[in-house]
Amino acid sequence: MKFKRILLDTNVCLDAMLERGDFAADALRILDLSEQKVIEGVISAHCIDTLFYILNQVTTISSTYNAINALRSIIQIIPVDPIVIDSALSSRWPDLEDSITYHAAQNANCEAIITRNPKDFKDSMIPVLSPVEFLEEVEK
């Protein structure tokens, strides 16, 4: 397999956690690969509060905590530190959240970013794949 350590963008996590339509199966498959240690799935630290906010809008606080703890048992969290923030600010990407995600992935030596919005990472030096593209790579 080409990619071992991958960063999951917030939207991929939400697809799995909220079982969002046609996107859920691929997102859940990627989390399964991480749980089975086929890959090392990571998210950036700033993803947690976004997940909490969105999940808490549609479920109870107890269910929200349970869902995040379940995700946490499958994936690793990479830091968002001053170096990541300064790099993100210096890059002047149109979306600061995407820039922070990218620079956290770069700083943590991730080999790919998995997102449903690859166009948001057009300046990435790290390969950016949709969940479908990533799973096609894994299954080669």
Please check the confidence at residue 29 and state whether its pLDDT lies above 70: yes
Strand partners, 77: 43
Task: Provide the angle, in degrees to the nearest 10, between the axes of the packed helices 61-72 and 46-58.
Answer: 140
Please check the confidence at residue 107 and state whether its pLDDT lies above 80: yes
- Tell me the CB-side half-sphere exposure of residue 101, using CA atoms within 13 A: 29
Query: CATH number, domain at 108?
Result: 3.40.50.1010
Mean per-residue pLDDT over the chain, rounded: 95
Q: Report, as an integer, the average pLDDT of 97-119.
A: 96
Domain that holds residue 131: 5-138
**Band of the pLDDT at 55, cuts 50, 70, 90?**
very high
> What single DSSP character describes residue 116?
S
pLDDT digits (tens, 9 = 90+) for 117-140: 999 998 899 999 999 999 999 887
**Band of the pLDDT at 1, cuts 50, 70, 90?**
low
Q: Report, as an integer, the average pLDDT of 86-98.
A: 95
Distance CA 93, CA 49 (A): 21
Q: Report, as an integer, the average pLDDT of 105-119.
A: 96
- Tell me the CB-side half-sphere exposure of residue 16, using CA atoms within 13 A: 23
pLDDT digits (tens, 9 = 90+) for 12-22: 999 999 999 99
pTM: 0.94
Question: How many structural domains comprise the chain?
Answer: 1
Distance CA 106, CA 14 (A): 22
How many residues are there in the chain?
Answer: 140
